[in-house]
Amino acid sequence: MAAGREPLSPPTRTVDVMRWQFGQTRSQAAERGEGAYPLPADAAHPSSVAASGAPIVEMRGITKRFGPVVANNHVDLTLREGEIHAVLGENGAGKTTLMNILSGMYQPDAGTILIRGRETKIATPADALRQGIGTVYQHFTLVPNLTVIENVALGAEPGFLLDLAAAERRLAQLLTDFELNASPHTEIRHLSLGQRQRVEIIKVLSRGSRVLLLDEPTSVLTPVEVEGLFAILRRLRANGVAVVLITHKLEEVLDVSDRVTILRQGRKIGEIGPEVISSGDRAAIRQRIVEMMFGGAPAEAPSASARASGAANGSTLLALQDVTALGDRGEVAVRGLSLELRAGEVFGIAGVDGNGQKELGEVIAGQRHVTRGRVILDGQDITNKGVAACSRLGIGYVTDDRLGEGCVPGMSVAENTVLKMVTRSPFSKGFWLNRGAIEAEARRLIGQFDVKTPSTATPITALSGGNIQKLLLARELAMNPRLLVCNKPTNGLDLKTAQFVLRTLREQADAGKAVLLISSELDELMQVSDRIGVIYNGQIVGIFERAAADLEAIGHLMLGGRERERGVA
Amino acid sequence: MSGRERLRHAAVPFAVSLLAVFLACLVGGLFLELRGKDALHAYQVLIERGLGNPGQRTETLKQMAPLLIISGGLAIALRAGVWNIGIDGQFFVGALLCGIVVPELAGDVPRAIVILIGAIAGLVGGLLWAVVPGILRVRWGLNEIITTLMMNYVALNVTSWLVKGPVRDPERVAPETKQIPLSDRLPDIPGTSVHIGLLAGLLVVVLVGVLFRSTVLGYMFTALGRNRRAAIHAGLPVGRLTLLALLLSGAFAGLAGANDVMGVQGRFSGNWHPEYGFTAFALVYLARLNPFAIIPFAFFFSFLMVGGQSMPRRADVPTYYIGMLEGLMLIFFAATVALERLWSRATRRAPEDAPLAIGAASAAAPVSAESDAGDGAVSAPQNTALSAGETR
């Protein structure tokens, strides 16, 4: 392709970009007699044809450290034109760091980046864009009360005065091509998330990007929108754009990618090329990828504290019936989910971040509005009763966002201890606070849970994460809940504190309470749970008794795999 | 915490505020020198006319009353994270309501009852004026900074229309309500010529202090203001708390209006436009939302207001100069708070309990305060207020 051999730095005028980008294809299409439609349908371009382009970007030996954590450890990645390249990995595997390096957000500590064979430094995101690398972030960067055209033209049009009419003429074709199904004069806030994402893609392409990075692009989309996105990506591929999908949704990825790179704990574990992917043996490929992502994890022997309890006989304490709830961005986060929790069990929720587990926890705690379905606690309908009511009925919730949501910075340890029970006796008598009782309670919990703090009057922010976590857990348990929901309670804790937290949860269940443990760490779920439910895309896609649980099967489901027998060849 | 540490905790924020005041006076003085005025002489006049003789001192103490009452209420709102920019509007409505009700009762009922009813009228007027922004905020999430600000203009024009027409004293040509007879005005504190409004102001501030120290409500306000998400997470009644904080600060602003009508003006007059709102913001921030620290700062600002009135005649400096000083104080306050934070981070101390988003606050207020000074280089305060709301 002639277009592909041009220097990667884009031409200055958008109008040229358009020709540069799509003009070539348009003429090719015309030659083939496919009419004037600039983006040929995918059928005309089997993936195997496109996926053999020259390397555009080569990352070699990229290493990035954050303090003691090595986020990327000598990672190599080659992006070729006309290829859709998926980068897969668990949370914390280093995908996002790698992409942030490529998009100029971070500078690598070691390693080189070659663009079209020339060693290049990508200093800033703007620099990346100038070099033809465009990124569509998970959180969109559009201005909600500007129109589509204004957003796309923002910062891209030359000169001081914005000629929107000219911008519209230049962008008209691009907007049609991407089937936005909305007037370019619509304000962004009126568009669906899928449409906004298209505008983001249009925005970076209109700046001449030849490499398109997409961070978790499907996480906010409906299944139909996902299909639409993939159709677009295939067309871009046909135009020689190198597309990078950062994701953990294996099943989706296999539908569209030519090449898959797997990261684990900062290292590149493997790469599967188009020759294998196009071989068609989906089940085998999937198996291999799951092994690479999760395999080798030591199958945890049931620890002493976690015995096969009689949980199966416990009565149902909490039932979710067909519950649907929206996430913070208005997307459907919990999708018709049903679940039953029994007294005396730890129920683990396994899932990759962003699959609705946080929202599920909030729904149970009464902190998130349920748009459909019912939540029933011990026979009583508690749907949308609110946090205060749920708390009084015996539901405790430990949030994963300790500082942002769990406590009040600037208040003392003692004041934070009673945050959720300040209206209860003995911490207040009617209108008046009982500071003495608050102090005493704080001291009691600090002692019982071995929270390290200089005093009860110390500001909470002076404590370490582990100690804050212990205090938050202590605070819930002090209210003696019947049901305790914990979202990632061991996140960022040292091993000893993490074990303490897990042991505490197990003890609670053994004492006849129900515990819902949300985590992305399979090991810890295996250690304390009686049952493990896998959440994917807002639904429970599988429930395993711990004895029968199999790490690989769970990992497979976490990534969006259907049950293995039904895997499509 | 040891006693010494506790002292440090109290002393450092106070010192930071004093430093800001000092720097503001210094830079303000430089301005005067640049304009060819004698800055030292101007400050001398300020001090003499603010505190120089018993009469001036009485004026300064009288002027403290509305500042104390307003600041007490504003401290509640700001502690709860609610931005009541509508102090002036609430003040006017409270003052007018008081000015309508009190003359009707005068002479028929004992003075104590008249004053009580007048105070209630002020409270109710201010509270009513905060209801609409409060409901808009809680029910529909409208930014209270915008709505309370706009309600100021509505209040200004509605009160001015009422006092020109429906509630004007028919005996008079000027747009004024009926006069309150001297026998029904606020009595002086025995042994002084300062009316009891000062005591009311001190009482309000002390009550607000007690509210935050010892009550569940105060605790919940503070939790809400410092971390709204944590308040939601903990199941606190966030909507009701927000509304209540706004209503309380509105009611106190209205009470301050009643204080001025019954204590100083004797009637509500259409060409009487005290603008305490931004002074109160500066004051409350310099006091770092601490009700007890409000008292000395109220005294200081009151002194500035009283002394500043004499500056045009005696030192050829416009009274607007005081508004400029207040603005400078907030700018320097924001700067010194930022430095203090850097310093406490550098010395590995826990952050001081400075109000959140102080940077945004002081970015908004001083610009607007300076716009009072009629200075050329002033940007639109509404926009600044908008961005302040969003950064919060």
- Of A36 and B111, the structure prediction assigns the larger pLDDT to B111
Q: Peptide bond before A426: cis, by omega within 30 degrees of 0?
A: yes
Chain B residue numbers with beta carbons less than 8 Å from the beta carbon of A467 are none
Instruction: Mark yes or no for CB contact A420/B234 under 8 Å.
Output: yes
CA distance A486 to B134: 35
CA distance A506 to A503: 5
Nearest C-alpha neighbor of B29 from the set B11, B43, B18? B43
CA distance A227 to A288: 25
A283 contacts A567 by C-beta, under 8 angstroms:
yes
Q: Judge whether residue A225 has pLDDT over 80.
A: yes
B1 and A CB contact within 8 Å: yes
Helix, strand, coil tally for chain A in percent (to 5): 40, 25, 40
Looking at residue A173, its pLDDT comes to 78
Looking at residue A69, its pLDDT comes to 73
Q: Judge whether residue A2 has pLDDT over 80.
A: no
CA distance A3 to A231: 22
- Of A382 and B392, the structure prediction assigns the larger pLDDT to A382
Instruction: Mark yes or no for CB contact B227/A409 under 8 Å.
Output: yes
Looking at residue A494, its pLDDT comes to 76
CA distance A136 to A211: 11
Give the position of tokens 């600090």: A446
Cβ-Cβ pairs closer than 8 A, A with B, add up to: 78
End-to-end CA gap in chain A: 33
Comparing A187-196, A278-287, A445-454, which segment has the lowest mean pLDDT? A278-287
Looking at residue A470, its pLDDT comes to 93
Give the position of tokens 């597309």: A243
CA distance A83 to A4: 13
Q: How close, in Å, is residue B1 to chain A by CA atoms?
A: 7
Going by their DSSP bridges, the two strands A346-350 and A370-377 should be labelled as: unpaired
A494 contacts A466 by C-beta, under 8 angstroms:
yes
- Planar angle of CA A391, A394, A395, nearest 5 degrees: 65
Instruction: Mark yes or no for CB contact A387/B356 under 8 Å.
Output: no
The chain A residue lying nearest B227, using CA atoms, is A408
Instruction: Mark yes or no for CB contact A435/B216 under 8 Å.
Output: no
Mutate to test the interface with B, among A382, A401, A403, A419 (most CBs of B within 10 A): A419
User: What values do phi and psi take at B110, rounded to 5?
Assistant: -60, 150
- Give the pair of three-digit tokens for residue B312: 């045009």
Nearest C-alpha neighbor of A246 from the set A478, A76, A89? A89
In this prediction, residue B281 has a pLDDT band, given cuts at 50, 70 and 90, of: very high
Bridge partner list, A154: none
Q: Taking the C-alpha atoms of B88, B90, B95 and B97 in order, what is their torsion angle to the nearest 10 degrees?
A: 150
B292 contacts B205 by C-beta, under 8 angstroms:
yes
Taking CA atoms, A142 is separated from A191, A193, A203, A351, B142, in Å, by 11, 11, 9, 29, 22
Above pLDDT 70, what percent of chain A?
A: 85
B11 and A CB contact within 8 Å: no
Mutate to test the interface with A, among B212, B228, B233 (most CBs of A within 10 A): B233
Q: Judge whether residue A490 has pLDDT over 80.
A: yes
In this prediction, residue A296 has a pLDDT band, given cuts at 50, 70 and 90, of: low
Bridge partner list, A112: A60
Q: Judge whether residue A451 has pLDDT over 70.
A: yes
pLDDT tens, position by position, B77-116: 999 999 999 999 999 999 999 999 999 987 788 999 999 9
A435 contacts B214 by C-beta, under 8 angstroms:
yes
Looking at residue A377, its pLDDT comes to 95
- Give the pair of three-digit tokens for residue A392: 């009084």
Give the position of tokens 């970007």: A57
A259 contacts A277 by C-beta, under 8 angstroms:
yes
Comparing A179-188, A357-366, B221-230, which segment has the lowest mean pLDDT? A179-188
Instruction: Mark yes or no for CB contact A388/B237 under 8 Å.
Output: yes
Show the domains of chain A with their CATH numbers.
Answer: 2-293 (3.40.50.300), 315-566 (3.40.50.300)
Taking CA atoms, A354 is separated from A91, A200, A328, B81, B306, in Å, by 10, 20, 11, 30, 60
Closest CB from B215, B353, B356 relative to A431: B215
B346 and A CB contact within 8 Å: no
A455 and B CB contact within 8 Å: yes
User: Once rounded to an integer, what is the mean pLDDT over residues A446-467?
Assistant: 89
CA distance A133 to A213: 7
pLDDT tens, position by position, B43-84: 998 998 888 888 889 999 999 999 999 999 999 999 999 999
pLDDT tens, position by position, B165-182: 888 888 888 899 999 988
- Of A12 and B108, the structure prediction assigns the larger pLDDT to B108
**Residue B195: HSE in the Cβ half-sphere, 13 Å Cα cutoff:** 22
CA distance B326 to B27: 12
Going by their DSSP bridges, the two strands A539-545 and A483-487 should be labelled as: unpaired
User: What values do phi and psi take at A317, rounded to 5?
Assistant: -100, -40
Q: Using the CB atoms, write b or e for A365-402: b if 16+ within 10 Å.
A: bbbbebeebebbbeeeebbbbbbeebbbbbbbbbbbeb
The chain A residue lying nearest B6, using CA atoms, is A457
Looking at residue A289, its pLDDT comes to 84
Kindly report each contact of residues B19-26 with a partner whose C-beta sits within 8 Å and lies 24 or more positions away, as own/partner: B19/B332, B19/B336, B20/B286, B20/B329, B20/B330, B20/B332, B20/B333, B20/B335, B20/B336, B21/B286, B21/B300, B21/B329, B21/B332, B23/B328, B23/B332, B23/B336, B24/B325, B24/B326, B24/B328, B24/B329, B24/B331, B24/B332, B25/B325
Question: ipTM value of the model?
Answer: 0.80
A486 and B CB contact within 8 Å: no
In this prediction, residue B309 has a pLDDT band, given cuts at 50, 70 and 90, of: confident
User: Once rounded to an integer, what is the mean pLDDT over residues B144-162?
Assistant: 94
Nearest C-alpha neighbor of A525 from the set A303, A263, A249? A303
CA distance B217 to B238: 11
A529 contacts A275 by C-beta, under 8 angstroms:
no
Q: Judge whether residue B370 has pLDDT over 70.
A: no
User: Once rounded to an integer, what is the mean pLDDT over residues A158-175?
Assistant: 77
**Portion 387-426 of A in contact with B at CB < 8 A:** 387-391, 397, 399, 401, 404-411, 415, 419-420, 422-423
**Alpha-carbon dihedral sign for residues B207, B210, B214, B216:** positive
Chain A residue numbers with beta carbons less than 8 Å from the beta carbon of B207 are none
* Number of neighbours of residue B157 by Cβ within 10 angstroms: 11
CA distance A213 to A204: 10
Average pLDDT, chain A: 82
Instruction: Mark yes or no for CB contact B226/A432 under 8 Å.
Output: no
B236 and A CB contact within 8 Å: yes
Q: In what order do the strands lie in the sheet with A259-264?
A: A133-136, A211-215, A242-247, A84-88, A259-264, A267-272
Taking CA atoms, A108 is separated from A58, A75, A118, A564, B32, in Å, by 14, 11, 17, 39, 54
In this prediction, residue B353 has a pLDDT band, given cuts at 50, 70 and 90, of: very low
A543 and B CB contact within 8 Å: no
Taking CA atoms, B331 is separated from A126, B11, B300, B340, B387, in Å, by 33, 21, 18, 14, 17
Closest CB from B220, B226, B235 relative to A386: B235
Instruction: Mark yes or no for CB contact A406/B230 under 8 Å.
Output: yes
Q: Model pTM greater than 0.90? A: no
In this prediction, residue A305 has a pLDDT band, given cuts at 50, 70 and 90, of: very low
The chain A residue lying nearest B349, using CA atoms, is A462
Comparing A241-255, A536-550, B213-227, which segment has the lowest mean pLDDT? A241-255
Mutate to test the interface with A, among B211, B219, B220 (most CBs of A within 10 A): B219
Q: Judge whether residue B383 has pLDDT over 70.
A: no
Closest CB from B1, B218, B230 relative to A408: B230
B84 contacts B277 by C-beta, under 8 angstroms:
no
Looking at residue A8, its pLDDT comes to 46
Q: Judge whether residue B250 has pLDDT over 70.
A: yes
Q: 3-state SS of B202-230? A: HHHHHHHHHHHHHEHHHHHHHHHHHCHHH
State the DSSP string of B244-306: HHHHHHHHHHHHHHHHHIIIIISS-BTT-----HHHHHHHHHHTTT-HHHHHHHHHHHHHHHH
User: Once rounded to an integer, what is the mean pLDDT over residues A154-170?
Assistant: 75
Average pLDDT, chain B: 85
The chain B residue lying nearest A420, using CA atoms, is B234
Chain B residue numbers with beta carbons less than 8 Å from the beta carbon of A143 are none
In this prediction, residue B249 has a pLDDT band, given cuts at 50, 70 and 90, of: very high
Give the position of tokens 């903990």: B234
Above pLDDT 90, what percent of chain B?
A: 60
A245 contacts A232 by C-beta, under 8 angstroms:
no
B136 and A CB contact within 8 Å: no
Taking CA atoms, B128 is separated from A11, B269, B320, in Å, by 61, 20, 31
Looking at residue B347, its pLDDT comes to 60
Give the position of tokens 């109220």: B298
Looking at residue A300, its pLDDT comes to 42
Looking at residue A248, its pLDDT comes to 75
**Portion 298-327 of B in contact with A at CB < 8 A:** none
B215 and A CB contact within 8 Å: yes
- Of B266 and A40, the structure prediction assigns the larger pLDDT to B266
Instruction: Enumerate residues 6+ apart whose C-beta is below 8 A from A360.
Output: A325, A334, A337, A349, A518, A535
Show the domains of chain B with their CATH numbers.
Answer: 3-391 (1.10.3470)
Comparing A70-84, A107-121, A152-166, B371-385, which segment has the lowest mean pLDDT? B371-385
- Enter the DSSP assignment of B143: -
Q: Judge whether residue A195 has pLDDT over 90.
A: no
Above pLDDT 90, what percent of chain A?
A: 43
Mutate to test the interface with A, among B210, B216, B348 (most CBs of A within 10 A): B216
pLDDT tens, position by position, B186-200: 999 988 889 999 999
Q: Judge whether residue A471 has pLDDT over 90.
A: yes
The chain B residue lying nearest A367, using CA atoms, is B233
pLDDT tens, position by position, A14-27: 333 333 343 333 33
